[in-house]
Chain A
Amino acid sequence: MGKTELFLILFILPLLAGCWDERLLKNSRTVYVSGFDLNENGDYQTTSIIRDLNISESSRGEISISNELVTGKGGSIKEASMTIDQSVPGNYDPAKGRTLILGIDVAKGDIYNVMDPLYRDPRVDLNAKIAVTDNSANEIITHLSENEVEKGEYLYELIHSSEIHSEIQDITLRSIRTYLFDEGKDFMLPYLSKDEEDNEIKINGAALFHDHSFTGQFLSPAESTLLLLFMETQSKKALLTEQLDKKAGGSVSYNVKSVSRKLRLEKEEKVHADIMLQLDVEIVDYPPDHLDKQEMINFLENRLSKILTEKADALFKKLAVNQSDVLGLGRELIAFHPSIWKEIKGENYYEHILVNPKVKVNVRSSGIIL
């Protein structure tokens, strides 16, 4: 066979396959927020905001952009999005959806039912943020579409800034899958709610998950920060404020610079997890000052260590109640103590673990005072 013929065949074959998966940008209706709800009779409801372009006929080139709220119902998530597709011109395209909101009913069930069609679509943004709401997702999205200020990537930025401040765990559509299928690890998602007084959407804290579903309990931002410190996954900023007694000057705010954690797992009657957390902190707000004196530093270190140890105790009790192993002790056991894991493994393995946290605060920097 000649070179030319071979070349022709190679050139024509890809054309003959006929799979021209072109998707023109001008025909697509891109979504930037989607929410999923489950109603009483087991149907999924998808709510999305689509950016719509209105080209006025009178003056050419004048384009106004409006947000269109679309909803669709169906037995599955895919069917729901098909119903939306039927109601909008062009192609309904969730590829640009950077935030996904799970309604409380969906979150309390198996959330993987919602995720499955997303993972099957190769174009879905895997860096999308996932959030849980205390009501229906529909309500939050309706509010977003009505409120001029909170348009665009408001929700994404809201969640992202909380992550930067170490208030919630950094979880995306991509990373959540490992947690979902890890038998020894759970996760938490940002917990959204609509503030009726201020008429805006806020992050109330972090929703605790056990296995595939929401436990119904959530951590406050401060608790969540402390937990992130125990996980050693805090961001650069991890600001905490503790109330001291009046005599000691009200309250102190400090930023955690670095963390070192020592974890010891022992099997007695139960599995004992002794966690020793060393925090290097920088004082950022303490009006009584005098931080140049060693006694003052020692005093603060002792007080803060005591307060934080108490708080950590309460935190881990809360986790134990909800069986939510966000810290990943199960994974730790699988990795380093497989014999212990073999004894306790199962869906509710966290019952067998008793966490004994201890926090030691070292004031490394007294902050900058000009």
Chain B
Amino acid sequence: MRLKRNKSKKSLINQENLSIENIKSQLNHTSDLKDREIHSNNQIYIILYINSLVDQEKLESKIIKPLIKMENNNILNELYSQEISTAKSNKIAINGLLDGYCLLIKKGRNSEGFLLKTNASTDREVSEAIIEKTILGAKVGFVESLDKNIFLLRTVTKSPDFTVKNYTLGSSTTTNVSLIYLDHVTDPEIIKKVEQRIKSITLDSIRSAGDIQDCIEDHTVTPFPQLLLTERPDRASANLKDGRVALIIDGSPTVIILPATFMTFFQTPDDYITRWWLGSFFRFIRLFSYIIALILPALYIAFVSFHYEAIPLELVYSLQSSLSYVPFRPFIELMIMQLSLELLREASIRLPPSVATTFGIVGGLVVGTAMVEAGIVSYGGLIVVALTSVSSFVQPNLEMSSSIRILGFPLMLLAAIFGFLGIVVGVLFVLIHLSRLTSFGLPYFSPFVPLNMEDFKDTIIRVPSWMMYKHSKNSPHYKQEKRSRKWKLDESEEPY
């Protein structure tokens, strides 16, 4: 909820000369804006800072103390601040103050001030990634601080190509956003596009990664996410090495990776840590479960209301025996189950872990079996819905698994009206839609449409890393990895 804006908005951005009074009035004489006069070396210095954003100790020991003891007039040599910049306008000064800098002004020479870094940090300690869990991968996850996140990303991506570009977004409240890519690896065309799109954002304020996603994604009318949101530095780093771009938003532990293709959402760090057979198997299971989650409810409806001659005889009888006292049509039956499952899912997110176990038993087991025994749904329906939700949980990406949930309902409706024909038309429609999607100009359904055999090495199966070439042709490492197993040739030539 947003409160009604004050219409008589002052012009925050003006280029007039630095003046303390001006700054104070532009910050509405807020109570935590403090100033202090210091007399030193026959000079009067004024320090202006926002009390709540500044680390008191840093300010005292590194700015005020040396300033008082200062013997000559060369400020820049005496102060212990690691970052000093000159502020020439009110706008720069105010932005600095809001970032936790303090403004040092020599009285009498109002036109020049220095911004000194004294910001306090209340960063959370780096902790384990919660949503995207892995078995063998790194445990660390992103936190809410921009600097720390860049730090995390840099430690796993040591390269001179690692490039950071900072942007400040938002017109009334500002948020710092960093664009990160590996130069020479990433297609310059993509970087240009991303920069252009980020610069065009004119929102009042950026609340989360979602705001940026909404503004820069290619297509908004689609259930498929075109940007990958991740909380794992290793995943972000792997994508950087593949020639993608990362966007880190200050205050958000979620990092945006772009451009993402359909298959990006099926990759996990575990695929590359385990041996390639296993990695390929997991990848295959994930794709399979995606299809299951998408069409299983629709298939069930089509089977029991149109094409039961296609199921084996004994299964017909067991399905029939459980269906015969369900008063609803299969579509309504599944909708009841799916909706109650969505309720359970939503409820479980907000619950504290201590209650969650009880909730799981009551919600899942008791309600499930009671619904069957009361004759509201059949066993077949229950199995289908349970399998569908398990399959959707297999997806490593939350956004992608939500897309199945949204797509599942229209497919169910089509199956209820037209049977198999409806499913075929529905799935075709989804495929056509996928083929038409783009992410930053790149085809979204990439290795499939347009067909690119080279990229299949990391799609349905994951080939061993020495067989995989770099994704981008600009990469200097292109084809180098093929030599990684040359030792085998050398060894075999050795005489026994």
Contacts and interface: CB of A to CB of B under 8 A. Distances in A.
Q: Across chains A and B, which 10 residue pairs bring their CB atoms closest together, nearest first?
A: A95-B309, A26-B323, A25-B304, A25-B308, A63-B321, A26-B324, A123-B309, A22-B305, A24-B305, A53-B321
B321 A65 contact: yes
A153 B329 CA distance: 29
A15 B324 contact: no
B313 A28 contact: no
B375 interface: yes
A74 B162 CA distance: 85
Nearest to A19: B418
B320 A96 contact: no
Interface string B130-154: 0000000000000000000000000
14 contacts: A15-B417, A22-B419, A23-B308, A25-B304, A25-B308, A25-B323, A26-B326, A30-B313, A30-B320, A51-B317, A53-B320, A65-B321, A96-B316, A98-B313
B313 A153 contact: yes
Interface of B: 303-306, 308-309, 313-314, 316-317, 319-321, 323-326, 329-330, 373, 375, 417-419
A55 interface: yes
Nearest to B312: A96
A90 B146 CA distance: 67
B301 to A, nearest CB: 10
A53 B378 CA distance: 15
Contact of B418 (A14, A24, A61, A96): A14
B318 to A, nearest CB: 10
Nearest to A61: B373
A245 interface: no
Given A14-B418, A15-B417, A60-B375, A53 B306 contact: no
Given A24-B304, A26-B323, A95-B309, 16 more contacts: A14-B418, A20-B417, A22-B305, A24-B330, A25-B308, A26-B324, A28-B320, A30-B317, A51-B320, A53-B320, A55-B324, A96-B308, A96-B309, A96-B313, A123-B309, A153-B313
A155 B317 CA distance: 18
Interface string A122-164: 0101000000000000000000000000001100000000000
Nearest to B326: A26
A21 interface: yes
Interface of A: 14-15, 20-26, 28, 30, 32, 51, 53, 55, 60-61, 63, 65, 95-96, 98, 123, 125, 152-153
Contacts of B419: 21-22
Contacts of B320: 25-26, 28, 30, 51, 53
Q: Which of B309, B321, B329 has the most CB of A within 10 A?
A: B309
Given A25-B304, A26-B320, A65-B317, A60 B373 contact: yes
Contacts of B321: 53, 63, 65
A125 B317 CA distance: 16
A95 B304 CA distance: 14
Greatest chain B CB density within 10 A among A25, A28, A125, A152 is at A25
A322 B306 CA distance: 45
Contacts of A15: 417
A24 B329 contact: yes
A15 B320 CA distance: 28
Contacts of B305: 22-25
A32 B304 CA distance: 18
Which of B305, B314, B329 has the largest count of A CB atoms less than 10 A from its CB?
B305
A30 B308 CA distance: 10
A153 B317 CA distance: 13
Contacts of A51: 317, 320
B306 to A, nearest CB: 6
A276 B313 CA distance: 44
